[in-house]
Structure 1
C-alpha cells in the first residue's frame, strides 16, 4: 500500500524543524516524523485520531 504523505496543518512553516506528516489509511491515519521519513510510523484508527486532534486543539498535550 502506497501512502500519500502530507505535512500536518498543525506543523509550522516549511522551515520548522518539528513537523509531522500524516497519511490516510483505510480506516485510519499514519503519522510520521518528517525529518525521519524512513523511520517508524504510528498508525491509529480514525476515532483515535479524532480524539488526538481534539486533545491537541484543547491544549491537553502542550508542554508546561
Structure 2
C-alpha cells in the first residue's frame, strides 16, 4: 500500500509529496526533489503500531 507523505527537501526547503510503501517495515532509497531535482536520501521505518517514520536528508549529511 502506498501512502502519500509530505517532506521538506533538504536542499531547496520546498514541501514535496512522496509515496511510501508502508508494507515494507524498513527501507532506504534515493528520490529526486520534484522542485530542484537534487537527490534526497529517504529513510522509512514502520513501527509496531503501523505508524510511518520518514526522514529526508541530503547526500552529504552522511
Q: TM-score, normalised by structure 2?
A: 0.30
Which structure would you say has the larger RCO, counting Cα contacts within 8 Å and 6 or more residues apart?
2
Structure having the higher strand fraction is 2
Q: TM-score, normalised by structure 1?
A: 0.30
Structure having the higher helix fraction is 1
